[in-house]
Structure 1
Amino acid sequence: MIIGVPKEIKNNESRVGMTPAGVFELVKNHHKVYVQSTAGEGSGFFDEDYLEAGATILQSIAEVYERSDMIVKVKEPIEEEYGLVRQGQVIFTYFHFASSVTLTRAMLKSGAICIAYETVEDTDGTLPLLTPMSEVAGRMAIQQGAKYLEKPKKGRGVLLGGVPGVAPGRVLVLGAGVVGTQAAKMAAGLGAHVTILDINMKRLRYINDVMPSHVVTEYSNEFNIRKHIQTHDLIIGGVLLKGAKAPNLITRDMLKIMRPGTVIVDVAVDQGGCVETTRPTTHEDPIYIIDDVIHYSVANMPGAVPYTSTVALTNVTLPYVLELANKGWYKACEEDLALHKGLNIIEGEIAYKEIAETFKWETVVA
């Protein structure tokens, strides 16, 4: 099979779909790999590295799409790429279709086979291709939140760890999944007081067992959310509904009961956000303020640490890329249930019911 790795062109996205090590494995399995020139530079991988691994370097993104049977990316195609995707081509990347009807319609129109990293699901319900980026985003959420709590950034002027004689900052984490767990771990490591909310008691018991005593768990409901947002300095949105739009756990009216300078980092922005006032931002312009509450909702948070993110991503995607390349998408998805759940759109039809439900379409849309 011919695999193409284009340069990401989304705003401030420095990750790349595959490391030279990944290319080496594909070439070793007798596949041809085209990499767009400078695609890996943002992650610290250069054309020479890819050439040494056996790739062929192409100059333009159009050439990569035109010559490849399968495209391996990091982020969803953006408008400039819609016309490059063609009938029967496999696109393997993060799509998050539920957050964009425009993207969904474009991929339906293209006739491509869209396999989404974020919905590849193991038999135990875990999401192996989403996990490493959720780990990165969860940890980054605390770094960014701590920064924007500083007064020059319009925050409350709170140091999360506090100092002797001064109480530490308070962090509220919505969701005890991978993002929430990693965020709680980082915040606890800084010495902050952490409250983590979830509706899954099994997860709350796990958090309670593994976290230090200054991380406390509570059941998530509107009453508890309203109570805690009034006293916490940093709020992390880490709620995920597989393949569907995130629920709005914090509504617009709730902002008025928060203290001025409170910071919200909504990691769920890729799935529409779990805060009603969330809108996607970029690393170039990461925040906006509503009712004196700072919103940080960068849609590609791991893109700020591209070396770590690219290596972590290739570690988990490569086995699936090899499976797709060795067997073809149909046979690979037929034989691997986890990969089969990654099928979101197949040649003009929706194959993942949560997407159809989000837009109130039929499960299969021509």
Structure 2
Amino acid sequence: DWHARTGPSDEHVLRKFGLDRRCENGEPVVTFADLNLLVVANTRFQHPRKHLLTWYSNDVRTAHQIDYSLARARWASSVEDRHSYRGAEAGNKNDKDHILVRARIKIHLTAHWKTRLLDKINVALLERPERRLSLMDATASNIAATFFDDSTVDAQWSTLKSSIRSGAGAVSSPEFRILRRQAIRPAKRDRKQYWKAIADKMETATVAAHFGKLFRLIRVAAGKKQTSEPLLRSTTGQLIQGTDRKCKGTGESGKSTFIKQMRIIHGAGYSDEERRTFIKLVYQNIYMAMFTMIRAMESLRIAYENPANQAHAEAIREVDYESVTTMDPQHVVAIKSLWEDPGITECYDRRREYQLTDSAK
């Protein structure tokens, strides 16, 4: 019994199913709930007005919602219903005062799944020449047998990883367990320092009343996933949606380049005809890099020092670089003029603020 009326709201403490307007006693209730990470369960469920009222006056006409059920914000979803029952009055001699309020609570427990330990490669064994040569031979044979085919880049990347792991497993030994035992004590010390740092941050956030930061730290300490996921973009700047595409990584992360290098070093390389097919890719990379910097000039609010380069930029923006096979002489002049502009130079120096291919320069 708070003798207070909170009223409805769209805040995280209240919801829209509260009754009446907030009175003077309602402010301390809301403040108390906010400071202690509580929610008012009464205002979270839609019921007829008679099932939301909790107090009736002796005149049988005046009624308010002044009794509240508070719950921790992290357990708010466990409160499934909150209901007033007028037939179970318990109050003064006229049986018209506070009425029975019942809340239905169901605790949702989180299952702790057993994690699978990753297979670790004993890198220390590579310090021995004979082990290093054995690993190189085993890896090279696996790559030569399964790596160079017509599969996709992601399939080749998975094949490469499995080849390295299988080769490393062939030269591993019980010495890895010895090294692991030697690393246990430093690992425990680092873990203790990590949790001490987390506890210090929680204490600082509590003193400074930064409850949002405190809530995030609690989720980290409890092993919960972050509520927001990092945004990944493709080479065209579009957001990558879906878990499968995100696992493949962002655009221009170097996977295809690494695959080509492995083919040149360990495989048969590329024929003259295959190398000629890469000419259009070089042209496309030039157009794409300039197109990216022109678009970044607008977002970074950088102006061209040479006014004529504004027209050159518009000409390059109209080109569909994904379908380019040759270089137009007029575009060559425009790209050279743009590249020599101090504005483009400044934009290139700030390339960490946007995504630009490594081959741009």
Q: Considering the TM-score relative to the shorter chain, is it more than 0.5?
A: no
TM-score (norm. length: structure 1):
0.22
Bigger relative contact order, structure 1 or 2, given CA contacts below 8 A and separation 6+?
A: 1
- Please identify which structure carries the higher strand content: 1
TM-score (norm. length: structure 2):
0.22
- Please identify which structure carries the higher helix content: 2
| Structure with greater Cα Rg | 2
